Amino acid sequence: MNTPAKEFLRSAAAKSADLAHRSTIRTGIDHYEAAVTRTGARFLDWEAARQRCQAIKWEAINHLDKYLLEFESRVQDRGGHVFWAETAADARGYVSELAARKNVRTVVKSKSMVSEEIDLRQDLEKQGVKVFETDLGELIVQLRDEPPYHLMTPAMHLTRTEIANLFQEKYGGVESNDPQHLVDIARRALRDAFFSAEMGITGANFLVADSGIVALTTNEGNGRLGSSLPRIHVVVTGIEKVIPRMEDLAVLWPTLARSAVGQSIACYNTLIGGPRNANEPDGPEEFHVVLLDNGRSELLADAEQREVLHCIRCGACLNVCPVFRKIGGHSYGTVYGGPIGSVLMPHLGGLNKFQHLSFASSLCGACTSACPVKIDLHHHLLQNRRNAVESAERPFSERLAFKLWRWMMMGPMRFAILGGAARASLRAAHALGLEGTRLDPMRPWTKTHAPPAIPDKSFRAQWRTIAKK
């Protein structure tokens, strides 16, 4: 087995047994679910909204070439720059080179999973640029020097007391764990950075093709400040974020807000069109959009899983996932965690390396039910498993076991005889008091479960007696 799989097993086992973690996450998710239920009532027809969002994203993804070029030309018309980055290194290189060329010392960054995907902050820091995460959750995990726990709520795993202690250690002056007080401390710490930064980096929630507009959603206003105060604004985003028309936002915005955090609409929805015009008093002097491919166009070529590109990164599938709730966001060891990450990572990072994530699911389907753009997530996990068996490394013992399984199940006599023998051996093992020990044939089941009573006769044997009467 490969290393990420081993690391996953180790971390998932540890987190699954961590009851404090389980309770922190449950509290967070309970708040989320209550808010989602509340705001759901404000949709006349939630299912219709999902279908509409699905249709919009389908149209965009299936005409990606057309809409991306349209977006690019409108941005260029207003004096913005568009850079097509085929790989993470290309994207990173473009931004780092730009920062160096423009003598950028300080960067304020709002939340962007694509920037995590390409390790942008680390790359800029390597060349001596100070990078401030300005989303509160991202700031917290930056201060802890750890990756975001969740693609929408990066500090979900922390209690406010833990955050208060962290702020006291890093900033001082913490008087209580009151959320407003903690926000005030972060705000003071970030204010200077906003005014001194030469470059603001943001992600994009949507790229509107018909108007060449970047739609940016935040709840803290940090994206708006970071995109308007510094003299250079850089948007780093994936090619799948494009949507055809401005009016599509009418349904995408509230659907995103509900699925992400249970709001009717997010607090700050900003539309950004390009650099400052000659007659405008503020805004950046330069505007760059980095469009990242990094494996996405290969996913586009996969007809079975193309719709994975519909994802609007709301995080709903993580929140409802019972596996995520147990193992936590960091166990995945990937930029994108939870069900969407398990589906996506084999495409972005290689099937062999990330196939284990597709097996680490009970296939309950809660993710698919929650997805606002109706991605068939748990069925894609099944396809990844099939792909893994067809073209990746699986244990020899497993391959052999399924060959034997097929052989046994192809003959009802074989099945009845071998099944009877297995039951007899289980009963014998349990009679000898081996249950739960290393010699128990039912281990690892009996490691975590009381052993089931093993029936003397199978259904088919019992039915024969009943049917004769």
Which stretches of the chain bind another protein, using CB under 8 A?
A: 9, 12-13, 16-17, 22, 322-323, 326-327, 359-366, 368-369, 379, 382, 385-390, 394, 398, 402-403, 405-406, 408-412, 415, 419, 422-423, 444-455, 457-463, 466-467
Q: Hey, is 27 helix, strand or coil?
A: helix
Q: Order the strands of the 286-292 sheet from edge to edge.
A: 81-85, 286-292, 232-238, 199-202, 106-109, 130-133
Cβ distance to another protein smaller for residue 25 or 207: 25
* Spatial CB neighbours of 194, under 8 Å, sequence gap ≥ 6: 108, 134, 225, 226, 229
Cβ closer to another protein: 135 or 307? 307
In the complex with another protein, the residue whose CB is nearer, 145 or 390, is 390
Interacting residues of 262 by C-beta distance below 8 A, sequence separation 6+: 32, 33, 34, 35, 36, 37, 38, 39
Give the helix/strand (H/E) hosting 36.
helix 19-40
Closest CB to another protein among residues 70, 435 = 435
How is residue 243 written in tokens? Answer: 């949507």
- Measured CA to CA, the distance from residue 170 to residue 185 in angstroms comes to 11
- Complex with another protein: residue 93 or 451, whichever CB lies closer: 451
Beta bridge partners of 233: 200, 287
Least separation in angstroms between residue 285's CB and another protein is 51
> For residues 350 and 451, which CB has a smaller minimum distance to another protein in the complex?
451
Q: Tell me the C-alpha to C-alpha distance, in Å, between residue 363 and each of 83, 280, 367, 384.
A: 39, 53, 9, 12
Tokens of 252: 């995408």
From residue 7, how far is each of 73, 111, 172, 350 by CA, in Å?
Answer: 45, 27, 35, 17
Task: Describe the crossing of helices 377-391 and 351-359 by its angle, rounded to 10 degrees.
Answer: 130
* Minimum CB–partner distance for residue 224 and another protein (Å): 38
Q: How far is the CB of 106 from another protein (least distance, A)?
A: 42
Of 276 and 423, which CB lies nearer to another protein in the complex structure? 423
Q: How far is the CB of 453 from another protein (least distance, A)?
A: 4
R_g of the chain computed on alpha carbons: 26
Name the minimum Å distance from CB 411 to another protein: 8
| Shortest Å, Cβ 417 to another protein | 12
The least CB distance from residue 7 to another protein, in Å, is 14
